[in-house]
């Protein structure tokens, strides 16, 4: 089967750094994406990694290791507004290019 695993909940304080891990097992792989979803809102795209290494976008960075089937999202200088759910998703190498989603990590940022 195909699956993605990520922690269900993470708690941190403002100004801290948090890492959300994602391990995947899929039949194909083009890349790993991360999405953010605030309560009551729609998922929004954060980052995408096709190759091994770290991609940095402002306070957010995403890492991929294809050999380990592993990636993480790193959030720095946490702010209250970062409280949200974060989903990893694999871009399947199948013809249909359907995304395969993890169950999401709920991040709570406390004062």
Residues near other proteins, by CB under 8 A: 30-31, 33, 35, 41-45, 48, 50-51, 87, 89, 91, 95-99, 101-104
Q: How far is the CB of 14 from other proteins (least distance, A)?
A: 25
SS3 track for the chain: CCEEECCCEEEEECCCCEEEEEEEECCCCCEEEEEEECCCCCCEEEEEECCCEEEEECCEEEEEECCCCEEEEEECCCCHHHCEEEEEEEECCCCCCCEEECCCEEEEEEC
Q: Cβ of residue 58: shortest distance to other proteins, in angstroms?
A: 17
Q: Which is nearer to other proteins, 12 or 50 (CB)?
A: 50
- Our CB check for other proteins shows the closer of 4 and 78 to be 4
CB of 111 to other proteins, least distance (A): 25
Most distant CA atoms of the chain, gap in Å: 46
17 vs 57, which CB is nearer to other proteins?
57
Q: Closest CB to other proteins among 8 and 79? A: 8
């Amino acid at each position: 089967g195909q699956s993605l695993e990520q922690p269900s909940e993470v708690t941190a304080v403002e100004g801290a750094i948090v890492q959300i891990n994602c391990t995947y097992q899929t039949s194909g792989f083009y890349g790993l994406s991360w999405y953010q979803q605030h309560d009551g809102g729609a998922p929004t795209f954060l980052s995408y990694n096709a190759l091994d290494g770290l991609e940095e976008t402002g306070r957010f960075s995403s890492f991929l290791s294809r050999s380990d089937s592993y990636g993480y999202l790193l959030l720095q200088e946490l702010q209250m507004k970062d409280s949200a759910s974060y989903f990893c998703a694999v871009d399947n190498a199948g013809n249909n290019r359907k995304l395969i989603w993890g169950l999401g990590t709920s991040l709570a940022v406390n004062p």
